[in-house]
Chains A and B, each alone.
Chain A
Amino acid sequence: MTSRRANGRTPIVIVVLGAVACLVFALPLVALLVRVPWRSVGSILTSAAALEALWLSIVTSVVTTLLALGIGVPLAWLLARTHFFGKTFVRAVCTLSMVLPPVVAGVALLATYGRRGIIGSPLEAVFGLRLPFTMPAVVIAQLFVAMPFLVLTVESAFNSADQTVEDAARTLGASALYTFVHVNLPQARSSIIAGAVLTWARALGEFGATITFAGNFPGTTRTLPIATYLSLESDLGEALAMSMMLVVVSLTVLIAMRARFLPTLGESR
């Protein structure tokens, strides 16, 4: 650990406490790596079942992230730039799923889009559409749980952006929509990407809401976290190998994105 502080030593107390915090995260990861049955990792991870689950996880989490960008960024802008009655309440509702137990989120989604749900019931009656146990259900579960990460990150970027640029654009006759697209979005670019990455990572790891709302069927709704959980019942080695795959995929993306985008996020504040 090298100190970048210009004058004085880094206080030892802070180093120790910070190191303890770091261990909270690092120890279980190291333990996971120690227990992984390295000899059979290759055959486990290239099995058709594991690849199918990984592919489904990647497809659904990417679709979730794109959807979150499409509707989450406008929501973030509304929360940052408009004033309306009950805004605090609306923001709380839109981020509640971050703290809700995922299983509860799954039950709530069933109550909404299930066969007896307030949306699901008319949907089936009128269009013959059934959402639970389908791939779109996986995406809905991920969106519900993961989108707040994008909304919160982007909202704070909109809040802290330099407003004089926006004012200048408006003074020169740009419409509000034109300003949103050509001024607000570029200003918040790195935060949007950072939020999207967090949302993607959360969606990739989503388990509780998915298995409750979307169920578990190979190729349709069995994502990698669900496959991992189930193999825990029968084959610990397989579960560990799949966990490691999730960790490696997520860690790689988080590190790559941090190096590429997050430093500029820090500077823009």
Chain B
Amino acid sequence: MSRPVSIVVAAALVAACSSGPRGGDTLVVFAASSLNDVFTALATDSESGVSADFSFAGSSTLATQIVNGAPANVFASADERQMEVVISASTNAGAPVVFATNSLVLAVERGNPRGVHALADIDEPGLLVALAAQQVPLGQYSREMLASAQVEVTPVTLEPDARSVLAKVEMGEVDVGIVYRTDAMSSDEVDFIDLDESRMLSIDYYVVALDRSDDEAQAFIDRLVGTDGQQVLLNAGFGLP
């Protein structure tokens, strides 16, 4: 491509991509997938007047997008490391706060046909177990918990995310999957068993205003850590910090 042509193409691309943060004054919130239900519920409750456009994806995907210039006003991450990635690349972000916690559970088919009641039960031969891959936070948490509980298990599959683990349980392809409590609660097809062993993990959710002088972003965060927000989070299966 000749130089003038490439400049025109580049300019067109930039113009197409940067309709700017706050086009039409709507708050843009980038949030981890697991927050989908909660944030949508918070936004549709019109009392507080918080309206926002949401983009839900894995925390690492969102962090990559924000660092590369995506027009987000608020970032809610399920992973401390990804929050650090965003903060360290930003000059005027506010201070991140923990607004919720999550825990790990054993998801089993409804009715628990294999009689799984504790983490130690899942090393039973013949029991098909799905874990998340170690490349994603859920997979790391699961390994950490299994190691510290000294439970050795050979999974049949290492799924790319929590929803995929859950889907394998829902379809009956595996007997047990380790997922976040909130994912298990969102499904009608599975039962779940809370795990004491999960307490050693601090699975914290962070939120930050990407411009610390942005009042609207701050209002959203205030609502999240306020009574209403915390109640919605509790109902969805999250823990409070």
Q: Which of B156-164, B178-186, B190-198 contacts A (4 or more CB under 8 A)?
A: B156-164
Pairwise interchain contact A23-B160, C-beta atoms closer than 8 A: no
For window 205-258 of chain A, which residues contact chain B by CB distance below 8 Å? 211-212, 215-218, 221-222, 229-231, 233-236
- Give bound CA distance, A215 to B168, whole Å: 9
- Cα A229 to Cα B172 in complex, Å, equals 25
Of A217, A229, A236, the contact of B160 (CB 8 Å cutoff): A229
CB of A116 closer than 8 Å to a CB of B: yes
Known interface pairs A114-B172, A115-B172, A132-B173. Does A215 touch B130 (Cβ–Cβ under 8 Å)? Answer: yes
B58 — which chain A residues lie within 8 A by C-beta? Answer: 233
Known: A116-B172, A215-B130. A231 touches B135 (CB 8 A): yes
Residues of A with C-beta under 8 A to B155: 217
CB neighbours (8 Å) of B157 from chain A are: 133, 215-217, 221
* A212 cross-chain contacts in B, Cβ below 8 A: 164
Once the chains bind, are A215 and B172 in contact (CB under 8 Å)?
A: no
Number of interface residues of B (CB under 8 A): 20
Residues in A with CB closer than 8 Å to B164 are 211-212
Q: A110-B173, A115-B172, A234-B135 are in contact. Are A216 and B158 (CB under 8 A)?
A: yes
**A238 CB → nearest B CB, Å:** 10
Chain B residues lying within 8 Å of A229, measured Cβ to Cβ, are: 160
List chain A residues, Cβ under 8 A from B133. 216, 230, 233
Which of B111-148 touch A at CB < 8 Å? 128, 130, 133, 135-136
Q: Which residues of B contact A114 (CB under 8 A)?
A: 171-173
- Whether B160 lies near A211 (C-beta < 8 A) is yes
Q: Chain A residues with Cβ under 8 A from B64's Cβ? A: 236
Number of A-B residue pairs, CB cutoff 8 Å, is 57
Complex CA–CA separation, A87 to B14 (angstroms)? 49
Would you call B1 an interface residue if the criterion is a C-beta within 8 Å of the partner chain's C-beta atoms? yes
Closest to A214 in B: B157
A110: B residues at CB distance < 8 A: 171, 173
Complex interface: chain A residues within 8 A of B158 (CB): 215-218, 222
User: Nearest Cβ in chain A — how far from B150, in angstroms?
Assistant: 22
**A23 contacts B1, CB within 8 Å?**
yes
**Option from B1, B136, B159 in Cβ contact (under 8 Å) with A215:** B159
Interface residue B77 (Cβ < 8 Å from any Cβ of A): no
Interface residues of A in 165-217 (CB under 8 A from B): 211-212, 215-217
A116 to B171, Cβ gap below 8 A?
Answer: yes
16 contacts between A and B (CB under 8 A): A107-B171, A114-B173, A115-B172, A115-B173, A132-B156, A133-B157, A215-B159, A216-B133, A216-B157, A217-B158, A221-B157, A230-B135, A231-B135, A233-B58, A234-B135, A236-B64
Using a CB–CB cutoff of 8 Å, the interface residues on chain B facing chain A are: 1, 58, 60, 64, 128, 130, 133, 135-136, 155-160, 164, 168, 171-173
- Since A133-B156, A234-B135 are in contact, a sample of 16 more A-B pairs with Cβ atoms closer than 8 Å, ordered by chain A residue number, is A114-B172, A116-B171, A116-B173, A211-B159, A212-B164, A215-B156, A215-B157, A216-B133, A216-B158, A217-B155, A217-B157, A217-B158, A230-B133, A233-B60, A234-B136, A235-B135
The 6 closest A-B pairs by CB, nearest first: A215-B157, A234-B135, A233-B135, A133-B156, A230-B135, A116-B172
